[in-house]
Each structure stands twice: as C-alpha cells, then as structure tokens.
Amino acid sequence: MGNINLGRVILGGFVAGIVINVFEYVLNGVIFADQWPAVMAAINRPALTMHDLVIFNVLGFIEGIVAVWTYAAIRPRFGVGVRTAVYAGFLTWITAYVLATATPVIMGVFPLRMDCVMVAVGLVEIVVATIAGAWLYKEA
C-alpha cells in the first residue's frame, strides 16, 4: 500500500472540478436561471453576484479534489478502476450533496422540486466527475 499521490489528486480533482462546474452551469445557469431570482426573493436574499458564482466554482473544484482523494484512499481496498471511482463518487454525493441539502429541504428553504432535481443531477455529475478525475490518478 503506497502513499497517496497528492499531485495527481489535485490534477484529477481539477479535471473533476471542471466537470462539476460545467454540470452546475448548465443546471443553475441555464435550466434554473429564470427561477433563481424568484427563489432568492422568496427567502429575502439578494440576487447572486459574480463573487458568489466564483465561490461556487471554487467549491466545485474542492468537491472534485475531495472525490479524487476519496478514490485514491479507497483504491487499496476496492482496486483500481471505474467501479471504485463510482464508489468514491457515490460517497462524495452522499456527503456533499444529499446531506448538505437535507437541512434546507427539511426547513423548506428552497422549492422541493428544485432540490430533488439538483440532488439527482448531482449524482450523475459527481460520478462522471470522479471517473474523469480518477482516470488521471496514478500512484507515485
């Protein structure tokens, strides 16, 4: 069992982050673009700014790095390959998407339909992103 190759985790995580941010742009910047102003007004919050969008993109890269790091961490137990990347993506989805969305859903902060769509798309997004990032990961 070797050490995790941090350089490759960051490289793969960057690629995974690009995938995540593309999915998020299409979902939130295109599909839900007309709904976000009304949602933000309904919770008495200002419209999202460019600064907010930059932060969301940074978070997408962090999620990608976490997913690829998870892949690297579980590789010794589950083996190298797509199946392990799917496991890592699924674990990241549970923690970064499902659990993170649970509180706002329970509190009714955002429309349930939007939350469900975002979590469902998030499953595809993070699994595809993790597979892409894991493809670049190699042990030192």
Mean pLDDT of 83-88: 98
Per-residue model confidence (pLDDT) at position 90: 98
User: Is residue 66 a part of any domain in this protein?
Assistant: yes
Q: Does residue 32 sit within a domain?
A: yes
Residue 84 lies in a domain: yes
Residue 123 in any domain: the answer is yes
Model pLDDT, residue 140? 75
> Among residues 104, 124, 114, which one has the least CA distance to residue 23?
124
What's the whole-number mean pLDDT along residues 3-31?
Answer: 97
What is the mean pLDDT of the segment spanning 37-58?
Answer: 94
Mean pLDDT of 111-119: 94
Mean pLDDT of 91-104: 95
Mean pLDDT of the chain: 95
Note the pLDDT of residue 1: 54
Domains of the chain: total: 1
Tokens of residue 25, six digits:
């742009």
Phi, psi of 90 (to 5 degrees): -65, -45
Question: Over 60: is that where the pLDDT of 133 sits?
Answer: yes
Does a structural domain hold residue 1? no
Q: Is the pTM for the entire model greater than 0.95?
A: no
CB 4 within 8 A of CB 69: yes
Residue ranges making up the domain that contains 85:
6-136
DSSP class of residue 32 equals S
- Domain contains 17: yes
User: Measured between alpha carbons, how far is 103 from 65 in angstroms, rounded to an integer?
Assistant: 24
